[in-house]
Amino acid sequence: MAINMNLYSRGDKFFAIVTSILIGMFTIATLYPFIYIAAVSFSGGFAAAAGKVVLTPVDSTLAAYKYVLTQPKFWNSYLNTFIYTIGGTIMSLLIIIPGAYALSRPQLVGRRFWNLFVAFTLWFNAGLIPFFINMRDLNLLDSYFGIIIGFAVNAFNLILLRNFFEAIPRSFEEAARMDGANDFQVLWKVYLPLSKPAIATITLFCIVARWNGFFWAMVLLQSEDKIPLQVFLRHTIAFLSDDQEFTATLSTQPYSVESVTGAIIMCSIIPVLIVYPFVQKYFEKGILLGGVKE
């Protein structure tokens, strides 16, 4: 809709200004917690613990970051997060892309059944306990592979991609078929290049889910050297104030539980903030692809 300011009456201008201000307030409210936690992470330990930090760092220091960045456990969990994110995303794509292609083929025998087979998992879920017992019976507890394979597929992403493939006109593949291409070649040379937005979207969904995933990593992984960043962060928030080795250093070091927590949070958010602007255009489209199907 083209908006011509000249057509706006005084009342309309007032309305536009009020909504702009309200949007601005909500935006600031969204941003504030991040600014606050950044300020805490750069503040002196005493100020952070005493609630003196509101908007900007008080007694600025990098002590909390020094503490965090010299923890071998922090770096190890960071590396693990990369392993789970990259491994898990590749695994997801390797299973989902051919699966969605097959489900989109009209000649697939039992297509209705297979689609129902997939969609049923959206409606009914066995729940935490049977899933956990199953992982244990499969010997996938405390294993990198268990985390990577155990959460590789979800019906939502599969259906999203299948719908996208179905919408591609058959005429696109005819030339390839004339040249004698098989289904693998048609998928690779015709469908994938035409489906870049959909592939980008599910890749993004997979990466975000992996980067942020914590619950099952917490439940399934027992060895401290296998935990991802989110679980390390959770341990820090929950147990740092009881860690005697840590609390013993508080009297001599200019950090506190709060500033160290803030520093780990910042270290975990920064990669997301760096990548975020580049992927924004994809998820806006992607969310609509996956939404309501006519």
Partner 1 sequence: MSPDSDKQHGHAIVNVRSKRSLKHKMIWLADHMRNEWQIYLMLLPTIIWMIVFLYKPMYGLQIAFKDYSIFRGVAASPWVGWEHFQNLFDNDQFIRAFWNTIKISALNLLFGFPAPILLALMFNEVLHATYKRTAQTIVYLPHFISTVIIAGIVTTAFSPTAGVVNTVLGWLGMEPIYFLTKPEWFRPIFVGTGIWQEAGFGSIVFLAAIAGVNPSLYESAVVDGASRWQMMWKITIPSIMTTIIIMFIIRIGNIMEVSFELIILLYQPSTWSTADVVNTFVYRQGLESGQYDLAAAAGLFNAAVAFVLVMSANTLSRRYSRTSLW
With respect to partner 1, which residue has the nearer C-beta, 66 or 111?
A: 111
C-alpha–C-alpha distance, residues 242 and 258, integer Å: 13
Name which of 162, 45, 26, 47 is nearest 96 in CA terms: 162
Interacting span for partner 1 (CB under 8 A) from 58-66, 133-141, 193-201, 246-254: 133-141
- Residue 60 binds to partner 1 (criterion: CB under 8 A): no
Minimum Å gap between C-beta 25 and partner 1 is 10
Interacting span for partner 1 (CB under 8 A) from 61-69, 108-116, 190-198, 245-253: 108-116
With respect to partner 1, which residue has the nearer C-beta, 75 or 156?
A: 156
C-alpha–C-alpha distance, residues 107 and 58, integer Å: 67
- Residues near partner 1 (CB under 8 A), total: 114
DSSP state string for 220-288: H--SGGG--HHHHHHHHHHHGGG-HHHHHHTTTSS--HHHHHHHHHHHHHHHHHHHHHHHHHHHHHHHH
Please answer whether residues 41 and 64 qualify as being in contact, where contact means their C-beta atoms are separated by less than 8 angstroms: yes
> Tokens standing for 194?
């035409």
Rama region for 235: left / alpha / beta (φ>0; ψ in -120 to 50; rest):
alpha
Among 233, 254, 255, 282, binds partner 1 (CB under 8 A): 233
* DSSP classification of residue 179: T
Query: What's the chain's length in residues?
Result: 294
- Residue 44 binds to partner 1 (criterion: CB under 8 A): no
Among 56, 60, 139, 280, binds partner 1 (CB under 8 A): 280
Instruction: Tell which positions 150-169 bind partner 1, by CB under 8 A.
Output: 150, 152-153, 158-159
- Residue 95 binds to partner 1 (criterion: CB under 8 A): yes
* Contact code string over 192-211 relative to partner 1, x by CB under 8 A: ----------------x--x
Among 121, 141, 189, 246, binds partner 1 (CB under 8 A): 121
Among 6, 70, 72, 178, binds partner 1 (CB under 8 A): 178
- Residue 173 binds to partner 1 (criterion: CB under 8 A): yes
Residue 250 burial (CB count, 10 A): 16
- Residue 83 binds to partner 1 (criterion: CB under 8 A): no
